[in-house]
Copies of this chain bind each other. A is one copy, B any other.
Amino acid sequence: MIDVAVVGATGYTGVELLRILIQHPEVEIKVVTSRAEAGEAVSAVFPNLRQHLQLDFSEPDIASLSACDLVFFATPNGTAMTMAPELMAKGVKVIDLSADFRIRDAELWSHWYGMEHACKELLSDAVYGLPEVNREKIKKAQLVANPGCYPTAVQLGFIPLLKNQLVDPGSLIADVKSGVSGAGRKAALGTLLCEVSENFKAYAIKGHRHHPEIVQGLNEHSSETVNLTFMPHLVPMIRGIQASLYASLLKSDVDIQALYEDFYRNEPFVDVLETGLSPETRAVNGSNMCHLAVMQPADSNKIVILAAEDNLVKGAAGQAVQNMNLMFDFEETSGLNIVSILP
């Protein structure tokens, strides 16, 4: 049993993390912070937590946070990097669900996130929390950078192809689609129901912050530098990410379906669907699973990988709990055996 804190829990990632942690057998939630809602009952903001969590939001302060074994940051970018060092100095473990520690190159980070990095010295210590890639490192980490939602799906989809040198690393295209919760919980014109419902479009067409994170991750598995065309789209629904991933095949005599099944056979949260099935976001709604499918168009040298995940779970809060389980030597699936809600 460990004591945990969630800093900045008024967003969708925060409430989802609370939902999972409440049901986790090894965790007690001790502190839930929010500057804006301090003093308010958590369940007044999130009525789904009525009867499940009897805490008020508090102001974040180092004393109460450092009394915990683990602090999750579900804050906007730029906050975790200012608080993590002090907490870590006191021996607290940290999982950052924001982007502060995802990119190892501080200059590249500054370019995309528009601010100076406040804590460059920790960038090399932070472990990128994609368990399928970094499981052993995560177990020993004090600071985990929880991956972005798109990067999780795109990396899980492309890595087996790259690692086995089956595709041209210069040919990668990721056409990705996300539910609106990916844009966060904040007063904004652009994500009003009346602006995004009954509508579909590509967005961030001048460049998306997850692009450098994905490329950094894919390059670790590629002999040549990857070139990725990354195109995000907004889907008129609350949760879910679907990715259609395209690459040019270098070899035509490989059973890629079998290769994917082997690659992920022991992964509890990656499920390679049978040939002919298409991953759909609702099948993983509320769960930590990522569904993958391999599709090879006839008369073509292209390979298509399809992926689906819940952006708030495997793409955020669920993956954070998976990382926590690894860091504290719990069962990796503890608290994450969630059956998706359908319909």
Contact = CB atoms under 8 A, between A and B. Distances in A.
B197 A238 contact: yes
Contacts of A280: 47, 199-201
A135 interface: no
Contacts of A240: 198-200
A200 B343 contact: no
Interface string A288-304: 01010101011111101
Contacts of A299: 227
A227 B246 CA distance: 14
Contacts of A173: 173, 246, 302
Contacts of A194: 12, 180-181, 185, 191, 238, 343
Contacts of A201: 242, 278-281, 308
A235 B200 contact: yes
Contact of A202 (B51, B203, B306): B306
A267 to B, nearest CB: 11
B203 A278 contact: yes
Interface string A239-282: 11010101000000000000000000000000100001111111
Contact of A191 (B50, B193, B281, B304): B193
A195 interface: yes
Interface stretch (A55-63, A89-97, A334-342): A334-342
Interface string A15-26: 100010011000
Interface residues of A, number: 85
A340 B19 CA distance: 8
B286 A341 contact: yes
A237 B230 CA distance: 24
Nearest to A246: B173
Interface in A25-64: 46-52
Interface string A317-343: 000000000000000000001011111
A22 B200 contact: no
B278 A202 contact: yes
A48 B340 contact: yes
Contact of A198 (B191, B244, B282): B282
Nearest to A343: B194
Nearest to A170: B301
Closest 10 CB pairs of A and B: A48-B340, A201-B280, A47-B283, A48-B342, A199-B282, A175-B175, A194-B343, A193-B193, A187-B187, A180-B193
25 contacts: A15-B343, A19-B339, A47-B291, A48-B282, A48-B342, A50-B271, A51-B271, A173-B173, A180-B194, A186-B189, A187-B192, A188-B192, A192-B193, A198-B198, A198-B281, A198-B285, A200-B240, A200-B308, A201-B279, A201-B281, A205-B306, A206-B276, A233-B244, A236-B236, A239-B343
Given A51-B289, A195-B343, 8 more contacts: A12-B194, A50-B283, A173-B246, A177-B200, A192-B192, A200-B237, A238-B343, A239-B343
